[in-house]
Amino acid sequence: MVIWNGLGFLVAIIALGSLWAVQALTGTIYGDEAYYQAHTWPKLAGFGLAGVLTSGIGYALNKLRRETGAGTHSFFFIPMDYWGPILFLLGVVYVLRA
């Protein structure tokens, strides 16, 4: 069961989209569709990209919320701007376990 508040669902969309974009980019650059699966660094890059995007959007939404009084944006009860470091740490854990 996925739980979000406001635009918190964007965390999952951004994470999946970033991983997919890095996969497509590495496949195009290296000319090998299996490059992404064979190496761990592209996954760390994807999680890092997702972290930067998620934190940036989360901070912008928090600033907007303070100015307008709009609602909060969270994913699994964690504010959206906190997901940036979490996603990067997930990438580090993935690389260390691989």
pLDDT tens-digit profile of 59-97?
Answer: 999 999 989 988 899 999 999 999 999 999 999 999 999
**Domain boundary assignment for the chain:** 4-97
* Residue pair 53/20 in contact by the 8 Å Cβ criterion: no
β partners of residue 75: 4, 78
Contact 73, 6 (CB under 8 A): yes
The pLDDT of residue 98 is above 90: no
Cα angle at 32 between 28 and 11, to 5 degrees? Answer: 60
- Confidence category of residue 2, pLDDT binned at 50, 70, 90: confident
pTM of the model: 0.92
